[in-house]
Structure 1
Amino acid sequence: MERFYTAESVTEGHPDKLCDQIADSVLDDCLAHDPLSRVACEVLATRGHIMVAGEITSRHVPRISDIVESVMHSIGYSTRGFTIDLLLHRQSPDIAAGVDNPLEEREVIGTGELGAGDQGVMVGYACNETPEMLPLPVVLANRLALTLSSVRKAGLIPGLRPDGKTQVTVEYDEDGKPLRLDTVVISAQHSPSMEQDELLWQLADKVLTPALHDFPPDEDTRILVNPSGRFVFGGPEADTGLTGRKLMVDTYGVFAPHGGGAFSGKDPTKVDRSGAYMARYIAKNIVAAGLASRCKVTLAYAIGKAEPVMVSVDTFGTGTLCADDCLEEAVKLVFGLTPAAIIRQLDLLKPIYVRTAAYGHFGRPGFTWERTDKAKALRDAVE
């Protein structure tokens, strides 16, 4: 395998992540009042404008302007000088019909299923490299970004501002085990009065040291802080943000492919979100069951059809008890893979989504798709 792997993350104040959080806050508001809401919300943020567009079909009418203002203030931005533009309408009746009346129900009356809200490919990944069952560079990059924001909000480094990015490169040994930190990059927005030397010292003490405590830098690790120089101008005033533009930050970085569908702003009938959560749930349980040390699960759906058109398991040659095609059959026995079954198993009709919208959708406690409660059932099915 390659010797060096890199992963990046961004803070909640990054303009793309600002948009993801607004979109998921709109979704959560709808689900809190009407769990059967259909939401596909996109957000664009640029200098002086926040645009919220998409389709909402719900018994609840969200107060979008209030939601935008609340999210921006919670992150640390002011809405003063911003115009909020709304371009919203109801879900297409053709798509709604395919979801409410799936192909299987049209062929066999009374299945009680939901059709997939879109076609597409969803990928889940897990490995035994870290307690989070994610690759180490992904864990560290997200941890650095979260620590950077936490330090800013706690006022531990006066002068920090909301925008920021992190990146971690890890060197691996010949057996594919993390060996050392090669490079750590932090770009942190700051006030114009902060000197670079002071910023470097403060970030090293209050962000790098605690975030990297269990895998610290060595004397040869490169630490790059604001390598472009001053970072005073940031957020949507400096860079246009858009929902769904941090797909690899949301998932597994370079370690697994991405089917292409974004997550934020979409209710769970959209399988590009719920299917990706189920694929991660399956992959994590396979690894937790000791059936593989690395696992990629791929699901593919057709719009308006409930059952997936493809279920694939790839353990990269690390499977322990059986071949990958045997694991695929075990997965079909243990997990329900229709949209309705996924929603039931993972309890996805609750307003939980804004918590996913920054620092990765995977590897953090509190989400149903991070449970390993199916590990025994999977192992039993294989044996």
Structure 2
Amino acid sequence: MRSNYLFTSESVSEGHPDKVADQISDAIVDLFLSKDPEARIACETLTTTQLVVLAGEIRCKGVYEDDQWAPGAKEEIEKAVRETVKRIGYEQDGFHWETFRFENNLHAQSAHIAQGVDASGNKDEGAGDQGIMFGFACDETPDLMPATLDYSHKILAKMAADRHSGAAPFLEPDAKSQVTLRFENGKPVAATAIVVSTQHAKGYDEGEKEAELKNYVKGVVAEILPAELLSDETVYHINPTGSFEIGGPDGDAGLTGRKIIVDTYGGASPHGGGAFSGKDPTKVDRSAAYITRYLAKNVVAAGLAKRCTIQIAYAIGVSEPLSLYVDTHGTGTVDDAKIEDAIKSIEELGGLTPRGIRTHLGLNKPIYQPTAAYGHFGRKPEGDFFPWEKTDLADKLKAAL
């Protein structure tokens, strides 16, 4: 590992068109799981000027069974979609929660996929797809996340909170952030560049109003980043294009699953390629990424490493994982292979089968819409939400070594 370097991560706000799509897709996941914990959902969303389109494959008791919609189900889906956009705050001529055109193209899950995934006879539930998934944790922040991504998320989350509360009425929903930090001896020591582009009300691109917006953003950055990282040498790029009035789906089309690096580790870790939002937890793209984060975080929380990457792999329809790989990047206190063996020995993980993962983390619940903006990881576990962020496995890992 290099010890001295610059590293950058970006985030996007809840009003970014791709994040609007992600939140809509996860609203559908939550709606279906609230009615049927064994529902199957693969919901993709397209957003553009005054249009939202759903497409994908579903199966859900009380909503869609035997290729038939239950009475009122379509109307309930549309209501969930519009309420999601309303909560984000879009009431613009080019994209308004009440007046956009809506298309629902969801249809039945493939019977051939279902026969591989569903449990039957002596066959356990199989993985919903083939693929590789990665989890990561490091000791750069209290939440054991990469600092560059953690700060990028929190800048935008604070701006959104101020927009919703009325503290910053000149902000509109769409925004992006980017944080560059200089690392020395593997630790962040200075913020060299901050980039924030935010959609704004008319007139906030010139004169005193522009200055007000830029000063506000600098104040948010100062609130989020540790003071020792900021200095007169920190370079700010705030709305560098000059104007940002047209934004959201009216400014750029949005699609589910296009922000997978924002969703995970900001480029500090490999990514298997699969998106999370819009998928029920039988899809290992989602559930296995959650369990590997859980495992990596517990490895670091246990003091077994300062930095940990875990990879897991599956074949569609097969319950047992094909491989498990642990890399502590030279920071481990024990051999990486021993950590792998310790993970495999913990019975409550259920052998890391899809059913074992869902059972241990409690994933068959409507807990997903909050994940769809500001990252799936580095969040505070509360009640049923973000169970993969708990560090309750740390002592068991140490005991198994």
Matches within 5 A, 1:227-246: 227-246=240-259
Q: Counterpart of 1:84?
A: 102
Percent identity of equivalent pairs: 48
Q: Distance in 2 between matches of 1:214 and 1:65?
A: 45
Q: Counterpart of 1:145?
A: 156
Out of 172, 189, 192, the residue aligned to residue 182 of structure 1 is: 192
Q: Counterpart of 1:331?
A: 343
Q: Counterpart of 1:353?
A: 368
Question: Which blocks of at least 5 consecutive residues in structure 1 are unaligned?
Answer: none
Classify the secondary structure of the residue corresponding to 2:313.
Answer: strand
Q: Shift of the alpha carbon at 1:202?
A: 2.2
Q: Deviations over 1:300-328 (max 9, x none)?
A: 0000000100100001111102x111211
Classify the secondary structure of the residue corresponding to 1:237.
Answer: helix
Out of 22, 26, 31, the residue aligned to residue 29 of structure 1 is: 31
Q: Distance in 2 between matches of 1:187 and 1:279?
A: 32
Q: Distance in 2 between matches of 1:5 and 1:160?
A: 28
Q: Shift of the alpha carbon at 1:80?
A: 4.5
- In the alignment, is the contact (CA less than 8 A) between 2:189 and 2:228 conserved in 1? no
- In the alignment, is the contact (CA less than 8 A) between 1:27 and 1:351 conserved in 2? yes
Q: Counterpart of 2:212?
A: 198
What RMSD over aligned residues (CA atoms) do the two structures have, in Å? 1.3
Please say if 1:70 is aligned against 2:89.
no
More deviation, 146-155/76-85: 76-85
Q: Shift of the alpha carbon at 1:51?
A: 0.5
Classify the secondary structure of the residue corresponding to 1:66.
Answer: helix
- In the alignment, is the contact (CA less than 8 A) between 2:13 and 2:156 conserved in 1? yes
Q: Distance in 2 between matches of 1:254 and 1:276?
A: 15
Q: Deviations over 1:30-53 (max 9, x none)?
A: 111111110000000011211001
Q: Deviations over 1:265-308 (max 9, x none)?
A: 10000000000000000101111111111000000000000010
Classify the secondary structure of the residue corresponding to 2:267.
Answer: helix
Q: Distance in 2 between matches of 1:211 and 1:260?
A: 30
Classify the secondary structure of the residue corresponding to 2:182.
Answer: strand
Matches within 5 A, 1:355-370: 355-366=370-381, 367-370=386-389
Classify the secondary structure of the residue corresponding to 2:277.
Answer: coil
Please say if 1:271 is aligned against 2:284.
yes
Please say if 1:10 is aligned against 2:12.
yes
Q: Distance in 1 between matches of 2:11 and 2:189?
A: 21
- In the alignment, is the contact (CA less than 8 A) between 1:209 and 1:216 conserved in 2? no
Q: Counterpart of 1:155?
A: 166
> Which residue identity does 2:186 align to in structure 1?
G
- How many residues matched? 372
Q: Distance in 2 between matches of 1:268 and 1:286?
A: 23
Matches within 5 A, 1:107-122: 110=122, 113-122=124-133
Question: Which blocks of at least 5 consecutive residues in structure 2 are unaligned?
Answer: 64-72, 91-95
Q: Counterpart of 1:377?
A: 396
Q: Counterpart of 1:46?
A: 48
Matches within 5 A, 1:296-335: 296-321=309-334, 323-334=335-346, 335=349
- In the alignment, is the contact (CA less than 8 A) between 2:83 and 2:97 conserved in 1? no
The two structures have a TM-score, normalised by structure 2, of 0.90
Q: Shift of the alpha carbon at 1:211?
A: 1.8
Q: Counterpart of 1:94?
A: 112
- In the alignment, is the contact (CA less than 8 A) between 1:196 and 1:230 conserved in 2? no
The 1:216/1:180 distance shift into structure 2, 3 A limit, reads closer
The two structures have a TM-score, normalised by structure 1, of 0.95
> Which residue identity does 1:202 align to in structure 2?
Y
